[in-house]
A and B are shown apart, each in its own frame.
Chain A
Amino acid sequence: MEQARSDLLTVIAGIGGLLIIASLAGWLLQIRLSPNGENAAIENLNDRIRSWWVMVLAMSLAFVGGKTGVLLLFGFCSFAALREFMTLTNATRADHWTLVGAFFVVLPLQYYLIWIEWYGLFSIFIPVYVFLLLPIVSALRGETRNFLIRVAEMQWALMICVFCASHVPALLTLKIPGYEGRNVLLIAFLVIVVQLSDVLQYVWGKLLGRRKIAPALSPSKTVEGFLGGTLTAIAIGAALWWMTPFAPLQAALMAGVITMMGFFGGLVMSAIKRDRGVKDWGHMIAGHGGFIDRLDSVVFAAPFFFHLTRYYWSIG
Chain B
Amino acid sequence: MILSERPKSSFPRRLAAGVCGHAIRLFARLVTAVRPVWQGIDPAQGGQRIYFANHASHGDFILIWSTLPERQRRATRPVAGADYWGKGGLRSFIGRDVFHSLLIDRQRNEAVRTDPVGQMAAALDRGSSLILFPEGTRNTTDEILLPLKSGLFHLASARPEVDLVPVWIDNLNRVLPKGAVIPVPLMCKVLYGAPMRLQPDETKTAFLDRARQAMLDLRQDANDKGEERA
Binding site for B on A (CB under 8 A): 79-80, 82-84, 86-88, 90-93, 96, 99-100, 103-104, 145-146, 276-279, 282-284
Contacts and interface: CB of A to CB of B under 8 A. Distances in A.
Contacts of B229: 90, 92
A83 B186 CA distance: 5
Nearest to B35: A283
Contacts of A146: 230
B230 A100 contact: no
9 contacts: A80-B33, A83-B33, A90-B230, A96-B184, A99-B186, A103-B184, A103-B185, A104-B182, A282-B187
A93 B171 contact: no
* Contact-residue size bin, chain B (C-beta under 8 Å from the other chain): 10 to 19
Contacts of B187: 83-84, 87, 282
Contacts of B225: 277-279
Nearest to B37: A283
A99 B226 contact: no
Contacts, number: 52
Interface in B211-230: 224-227, 229-230
A87 B171 contact: yes
B230 A79 contact: no
A82 B224 CA distance: 22
B174 to A, nearest CB: 7
Contact of A93 (B177, B185, B224): B177
Nearest to A102: B184
A229 to B, nearest CB: 28
The 10 closest A-B pairs by CB, nearest first: A93-B177, A99-B184, A87-B187, A83-B185, A87-B186, A278-B225, A100-B182, A96-B180, A276-B227, A283-B35
Contact of B174 (A91, A276, A279): A91
Nearest to B188: A87
B57 to A, nearest CB: 11
B186 A86 contact: yes
Nearest to B184: A99
Contacts of B186: 83, 86-87, 99
B210 interface: no
Given A103-B184, A282-B187, A283-B35, A88 B174 contact: no
A173 to B, nearest CB: 27
B67 to A, nearest CB: 13
B33 A100 contact: no
Contacts of A103: 184-185
Contact of B226 (A83, A91, A278, A283): A278
B87 interface: no
Contacts of B224: 277
Contacts of B171: 87
A96 B227 contact: no
B226 A88 contact: yes
Given A87-B171, A90-B230, A92-B230, A284 B33 contact: yes
A277 B185 contact: no
A91 B185 CA distance: 12
